[in-house]
Amino acid sequence: YWSLDPSGTHRLSVEDATWAGFPAFWLKTTLFGHSWDTGVYEGLRKFHWAKGFDPGSLEVARHLGDPLFEL
Query: pTM here?
Result: 0.50
Angstrom distance (rounded) from CA 4 to CA 7 = 9
Number of neighbouring beta carbons within 10 Å of residue 40: 10
What pLDDT, on a 0 to 100 scale, did the predictor assign at position 8?
A: 87
What is the predicted pLDDT for the residue at 71? 81
Residue 65 or residue 26, greater confidence: 65
At 5, which amino acid appears?
A: D
For the segment 5-63, what is each residue's pLDDT rounded down to a tens digit? 889 899 999 899 999 999 988 889 999 999 999 999 999 999 999 999 999 999 999 99
**Residue 13 backbone dihedrals phi, psi, to 5 degrees:** -70, 160
